[in-house]
């Protein structure tokens, strides 16, 4: 009888192993049970948008020869950084532009006489930027894009801003002013 019990135990052990093996294979094939347990590590990180510009006026902006006129007078440098690959637009505007006649102008602080001018921007060509943009603010005050960058991250690039104007020896004694504002509109 002892021999018979040993044989039964062997059969039971073999049958149990077979049943467990079939169950494990079935679970693995059909994605059931322990084979579908959490076996992933999701890694996530982010970098904040960092887009800046720094405008450095040139001393020539304060000593324009209004009677003689000039072309391509450097009035400032715009340093640009932007880590957003979608890019940005560098827009230039004038405080006096909308007053009649439309266009950028230096206006006398006392007499109100005006001297028209236009703005020009010399740019690096990264991200499809045009190297030179001329005639800005000459006759229109809206959508005056000094630089358009797309599909590029920009680090430490500079654009130079110039003004062009025809002098007027007939202007009255006064201090003539305008304010140019440069804005970075990030895409």
CA pair distance 112, 99, nearest whole angstrom: 11
The average pLDDT across 61-88 equals 96
Return the CATH number of 51-186, one of 1.10.3470, 3.40.50, 1.25.40, 2.60.40.
2.60.40
DSSP assignment, residue 92? E
Distance between alpha carbon 117 and the CA centroid of its chain, in Å?
28
Quick check: 91 and 146 in contact, CB under 8 A?
A: yes
CA pair distance 157, 92, nearest whole angstrom: 17
Distance between alpha carbon 100 and the CA centroid of its chain, in Å?
33
CA pair distance 71, 68, nearest whole angstrom: 10
pLDDT per residue over 108-144, tens digit each? Answer: 999 899 999 999 999 999 999 999 999 999 999 988 9
Per the listing, tokens 């920009």 go with 154
pLDDT per residue over 137-175, tens digit each? Answer: 999 998 899 999 999 999 999 999 999 999 999 999 999
For 45, residues 6+ apart whose C-beta sits below 8 A from its C-beta are none
- Give the pLDDT score at 142: 87
Give the β-pairing of 105-108 and 118-122.
Answer: unpaired
For the record, the structure tokens of 53 come out as: 């510009």
CA angle at 50 for the pair 46 and 54, rounded to the nearest 5°: 170
């Amino acid at each position: 009888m002892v021999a018979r019990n040993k044989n039964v135990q062997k059969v039971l052990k073999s049958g149990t192993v077979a049943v467990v093996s079939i169950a494990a294979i079935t679970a693995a094939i059909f994605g059931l049970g322990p084979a579908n347990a959490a076996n992933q590590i999701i890694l996530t990180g982010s970098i904040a948008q960092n887009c800046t510009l720094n405008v450095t006026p040139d001393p020539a902006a304060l000593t324009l020869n209004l009677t003689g006129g000039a072309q391509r007078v450097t009035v400032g440098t715009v340093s640009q950084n932007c880590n957003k690959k979608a890019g940005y637009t560098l827009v230039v505007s004038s405080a006096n532009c909308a007053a009649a006649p439309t266009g950028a102008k230096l206006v006398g602080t006392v007499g109100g006489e005006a001297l028209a001018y236009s703005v020009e921007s010399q740019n690096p060509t990264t991200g499809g930027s045009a190297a030179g943009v001329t005639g800005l603010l000459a006759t229109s005050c809206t959508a005056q894009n000094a630089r358009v960058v797309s599909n590029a991250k920009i680090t430490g690039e500079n654009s130079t801003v110039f003004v062009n104007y025809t002098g007027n020896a007939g202007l009255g004694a006064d201090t003539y002013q305008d304010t140019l504002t440069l804005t970075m509109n990030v895409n």
